[in-house]
Structure 1
Amino acid sequence: MFNNKMSKSLIASALAGAFAFSGGAIANSGLEQLHQENSQIVREAVRSQERINTIYEQTQELLGEYRTVVDQTDSLKVYNDFLQTLVTDQQRQIDSIQRQIDTLEDTRRGTVPLMFKMIDALEEFVKNDIPLRTERRMERVERLRDVMGRSDVQLSEQYRQIMEAYSIEAGYGSALESFQGTLVLGGNELTVDYVHLGRLALMAMSLDGNSAWVWNNQTNNWDSLPASYLSGVSDFIKMARREINFEMARVPLIAAE
């Protein structure tokens, strides 16, 4: 009986030791696993923090880009408003120019006939005026007609040339001028010195100074001048050539019509 009890005690002790040993092993294994899990959690937490930091940095970059875009949008809006103001103003100018063009076309339709009338009137005036450089003046009238038929000459230039011709004609009315030319008398051609004082007097003198003539508006002929006028006509010629000072001289004057 003693042996049985003793055996049971030994068996119980052995089992207790085995359980104690097994429990310690189990406890150590659990701690190791817990440690590994904690390490894993820490690593996951670090990685999560790194991802959070990356996301935060990206968010900050996006926020900066957003603010930049907002600023650019505001600037573009101001600039677009400015451009719209310019476009509106340009459109007003275009409309104004178009109205002027339309008006100009109406003016052109009225101006062109007037210009032709001015040329006709100039031609008629030259024909009825004293025979002062008549050939040259008629050539100027013909050039004006040619200009009016040219498509490469602007209307403004055509009008300018007509006004220039009128200005030249007006100049004849106040100029003292002398020039050489041919005078036809009785079918004979004579080379003479012409001199005119505006349209008040148109005279001619032979190159030898022995004969002089004056244009008669009433008869449309050249009248021979008495010898008493030769000196005055000669002085007029010299004054026109700036050979002597201007002074009074005795010449026949005629009234222009």
Structure 2
Amino acid sequence: MTQSNLKRRAAVAAVTVFMLSGAATVQAQQIDQLLTIEKQVAQAGAQSQATIDKIADETDRLVGEYRSVTTQIDNIKVYNDQLQELVAAQEKEKASLQAQIENVSGVEREIVPLMQRMIGTLEQFVKLDVPFLQQERVERVATLRELMSRADVSTAEKYRRLMEAYQVENEYGWTLEAYAGPLETEGRTRQVDFLRIGRVVLAYQTLDGGEQGMWDQEAKQWVVLPESYRNQIRQAIAVARRQAAPDLLVLPVSAPESAQ
């Protein structure tokens, strides 16, 4: 091989090495670019995944809120249905109460005159009855008459008070009572102890025990009793005041009128 051929081959080798070196440099740059792109793609993928995760979390939250709102709507529908039933029941009750009110108004128009007549009957009864607790009983009737003229008192309350007065008068018929009070006889007034046994016996005894008597319902006057009744009446007064034990007592009683 000649020297010139050797030089030519060396030159070719040098050019080849240069070209290979240049190609390697280009490939390295391309690899770097590829790595950079891959890195950017990886970063973009990570960002996209984070965005996707965020969207997924938000979606889960919205789905949860939707389900909660749906449940609330269902509950509200059930509650509204119950309210509708309640309103319907109340309307029915309202109609019933209105009918009752109209009936009460009619009853009230009838019962007020009846109560007025009952008060008049009670007043007459007190006047004709055995004269015990006269002032108290007369004042009770007067209070009822005053009550009837008051607009701030309901008819029901007036009726209750009237029935209460009748009940008190009824209880007088079977109770035993002793009380102190003034007695007017023969133009003079004395303080005495009264004894009432139902409406059968109304007797009195002076505080010193010197005189005793009883009411004669037929004659409408007080009658003085013999001294023999002194201890009996005193004992009966003590029993009525619960100062002595109940015992058998002998007291004068008006004979019942015979039937004609």
What is the TM-score of this pair, normalised by structure 1?
0.70
Tell me what 1:231 maps to. 228
In structure 2, the residue matched to 1:144 is: 144
Q: Given that residues 203 and 213 in structure 1 are in contact (C-alpha distance below 8 angstroms), is that contact kept between their aligned partners in structure 2?
A: yes
Q: Distance in 1 between matches of 2:246 and 2:50?
A: 111
Residue 3 (structure 2) aligns with: none
1:169-208 aligned at under 5 Å gives the runs 169-208=169-208
Q: 1:6-33 CA distances to partner (integer Å, 9 max, x unpaired)?
A: xxxxxxxxxxxxxxx9xx99xx7xx79x
Say whether 1:97 aligns with 2:97: yes
Q: Partners of 2:45 and 2:185 in 1: how far apart?
A: 131
* Separation (CA, whole Å) in 2 of partners of 1:231 and 1:67: 101
Inter-CA distance 135–38: structure 2 relative to 1 (3 Å threshold): closer
Say which SS state the counterpart of residue 182 (structure 1) adopts: strand
Moved more, 91-100 or 51-60: 51-60
The 3-state SS of whatever aligns with 1:136 is: helix
Q: 1:53 to 1:197 in 2, by over 3 A?
A: closer
Counterpart of 1:167? 167
> Would the aligned equivalents of 1:174 and 1:198 in 2 still touch at CA under 8 Å?
yes
**After superposition, what is the alpha-carbon deviation per residue over 1:69-102, rounded to whole angstroms, capped at 9, x for unaligned?**
2222222222222333333333333333333333
Pick closer, same or farther for the CA change 1:37–1:240 going to 2, 3 Å.
Answer: same
TM-score for the superposition, normalised by structure 2: 0.70
Moved more, 188-197 or 117-126: 188-197
Distance 2:238 2:71 in 1: 81
Coordinate RMSD, CA, aligned: 3.8
One-letter amino acid of the counterpart of residue 222, structure 2: W
Q: Deviation at 1:42? A: 8.0
What is the SS of the residue equivalent to 1:245?
Answer: coil
Look up the equivalent residue of 2:237 and give its one-letter code: A
Partner SS, residue 252 of structure 1 = coil
CA contact (8 A) 2:213 2:224 kept: yes
Query: In structure 2, what is the equivalent of residue 116 of structure 1?
Result: 116
Aligned residues: 238
Secondary structure of residue in 1 paired with 2:236:
helix
Give the deviation of 1:247 after TM superposition: 0.7
| Residue 48 of structure 1, CA deviation | 6.2
Match of 1:106 in 2: 106
Q: Which deviations, in whole Å up to 9, do the C-alpha atoms of 1:227-252 show, x marking residues without a partner?
A: 2xx33354134223223532130413
Asked whether the 8 Å contact 2:232–2:249 carries over to 1, the reply is no
Q: Between 133-142 and 58-67, report the one with greater CA deviation.
A: 58-67
1:240 to 233, 237, 242: 237
Structure 2: runs of 5 or more not aligned: 1-18
Letter in 2 for 1:69: V
- Contact between 1:217 and 1:254, CA under 8 Å: does it hold in 2? no
* Aligned-residue offset at 1:139: 0.9
Distance in 1, Cα, partners of 2:42 & 2:246 = 123
